[in-house]
Amino acid sequence: MSKNSIQIGFLGCGDMGGMLLEAALQAGILTTETVHVAERNADKRETLSSWGIDAVESAAELAGCDRIILAVRPQQFQSAAEELGDSEDSRLAISIMAGIGSDTIRESLGESTRVICCMPNAPVKIHAGVTALMPAQGSTDEDLRFASSLFDTIGSTEVLPESTLWAVTAVSGSGPGYISLVAEAMLQEAVQQGLDPTIARRMIARTIAGTGQLLVEHDDGPEALRMSVTTPGGTTEAGIRRMQELGLVEAVRSGIKAAHDRGESLADGNQ
């Protein structure tokens, strides 16, 4: 492993790690010469090797890396960390593992480890996600710049304190699930109203994607957009009024709170 340049290790290179690695290589944020991947799966190692990447089976071989991306599943972390070993060196660990805090990572990899916890959401798969970057004590501006450049290749990033982990998880992490539930309800009623299911599915998906894009591009917020598409006495107003009468707003807020509380409970070791 050359020490003339910063060496990057990926601990686990499955769906999420592989997608992040590929996007960062394509964007030129990472280069095949400086990336090392520890991956148990032989087929994945073969693919990575064919790209010119140093792909190894054991995490122990990442010990010399300056920056390590932790991309194994949360329940795989402890054994992977034991293989990697702790270090007195101040290396950077960027974690995408859901629900594992910086304290746990430092305990396993060494107290001087500079940790940034990251929470990407599902649309990163089409490079349209949002990733919350939560730098822990000790990480530097340069560390954060590097993490931002990495996750900007798969969508957008927001920097937040680690104390917001469960709020972030409940809002942007679980958000694609809530929006999918709304899409399901819209589809059920569209079919009930006589629309062809395949066409209705496409129309609903495009409606949600287009509305999301409007919300992204116009900075006035969701209330302003709702007002701009709601004519007094019109169809949208009638639909929204009925949804409000049935408690849609309270249901969404209460659901997000339940997701937040579930996250805290899981972190406390409850199943």
Ligand X SMILES: NC(=O)c1ccc[n+]([C@@H]2O[C@H](COP(=O)([O-])OP(=O)(O)OC[C@H]3O[C@@H](n4cnc5c(N)ncnc54)[C@H](OP(=O)(O)O)[C@@H]3O)[C@@H](O)[C@H]2O)c1
Binding site for ligand X (CB under 6 A): 12, 14-17, 38-41, 44, 59, 71-74, 76, 79-80, 83, 96-98, 120, 122
Please say which residue, 126 or 224, places its beta carbon nearer to ligand X. 126
**How far is the C-alpha of 121 from the C-alpha of 191, rounded, in Å?**
30
**How far is the C-alpha of 211 from the C-alpha of 196, rounded, in Å?**
22
Please say which residue, 108 or 200, places its beta carbon nearer to ligand X. 108
Query: At its nearest, how many Å lie between ligand X and the CB of residue 97?
Result: 4
Please say which residue, 200 or 260, places its beta carbon nearer to ligand X. 260
Give the bridge partners for 135, in sequence order: 116
Task: List CB contacts of 77: < 8 A, sequence separation 6 or more.
Answer: 70, 97, 100, 104, 108
| Residue 3 CB neighbour total at 10 angstroms | 8
CB 66 within 8 A of CB 2: no
User: Whose CB is nearest to ligand X?
Assistant: 14
Please say which residue, 71 or 150, places its beta carbon nearer to ligand X. 71
Query: At its nearest, how many Å lie between ligand X and the CB of residue 111?
Result: 22
Query: At its nearest, how many Å lie between ligand X and the CB of residue 11?
Result: 6
- Helices 248-267 and 175-192 cross at an angle (nearest 10°) of 140
**Amino acid letter for position 48:** L
Please say which residue, 59 or 92, places its beta carbon nearer to ligand X. 59
Query: At its nearest, how many Å lie between ligand X and the CB of residue 71?
Result: 5
Please say which residue, 119 or 200, places its beta carbon nearer to ligand X. 119
Query: At its nearest, how many Å lie between ligand X and the CB of residue 148?
Result: 17
Please say which residue, 135 or 173, places its beta carbon nearer to ligand X. 173
**Amino acid letter for position 209:** A
Query: At its nearest, how many Å lie between ligand X and the CB of residue 248?
Result: 26
Task: List CB contacts of 243: < 8 A, sequence separation 6 or more.
Answer: none
**How far is the C-alpha of 29 from the C-alpha of 33, rounded, in Å?**
12
Query: At its nearest, how many Å lie between ligand X and the CB of residue 25?
Result: 17
Burial (CB < 10 A; 0-12, 13-18, 19+), residue 270, is exposed
